[in-house]
Chain A
């Protein structure tokens, strides 16, 4: 089935560690996005990519990094520079006005 797959669903990070969240899509979409959601809050855009090998910072890019080496993949690295990384992370893609979301990844700092 077509869709967006995020992994892992749950991830625990120790202080000072970098972690990478995976996002894969088989919808043949050019654009991909990463959003962060804090409890009871809306979504905030971290990074987005229009095409392969190109990406732009969103509203809260500090402490995060991304790559877009393949059309299907848009991994997000949460670096140790991100001081408050505990949140729900959502990956999405689009090929028109509608954005399609993955099921999200929970990241907790321990």
Chain B
């Protein structure tokens, strides 16, 4: 079953506008991550927010996390046509043991973002 559920499923905006995507999850997490996927390609890590953090920024990206509501949002400001992609949230129970990190990322179904020039 999917842990993260993104909303909306698809988002279409004009260049320069902001894009907001939301993610809800069901169980306790260590951290939540956002990934980007261009069509037919692998996923690229964008940003990670830990369960004890509420907001994090990276360039034009802003991520918030509300553990009481089990939800997160990804804001892309001043969007560009090159931002067109699918965006996935993923919740993590990554653990560390004996110096090795391992575990599972559970992904949502993604938001398809289209930015029109």
B107 to nearest A CB, angstroms?
4
B45 CB contact (under 8 Å) in A31, A48, A88, A99: A99
Total A-B pairs, Cβ < 8 A: 74
B28 adjacent to chain A (CB < 8 Å): no
B59 adjacent to chain A (CB < 8 Å): no
Q: How far is the CA of A4 from the CA of B44 in the complex (A)?
A: 12
Q: How far is the CA of A95 from the CA of B30 in the complex (A)?
A: 16
Q: How far is the CA of A72 from the CA of B33 in the complex (A)?
A: 25
Interface flags, B72-112, vs A, CB<8A=1, else 0: 00000000000000001010101000001111111111100
Instruction: From known contacts A43-B107, A97-B33, A104-B41, infer whether A50 and B48 are also in contact, taking CB-CB under 8 Å.
Output: no
Interface flags, B1-43, vs A, CB<8A=1, else 0: 1101000000000000000000000000011010000001111
B31 CB contact (under 8 Å) in A4, A58, A97, A103: A97
User: B92, A50: Cβ atoms under 8 Å?
Assistant: no
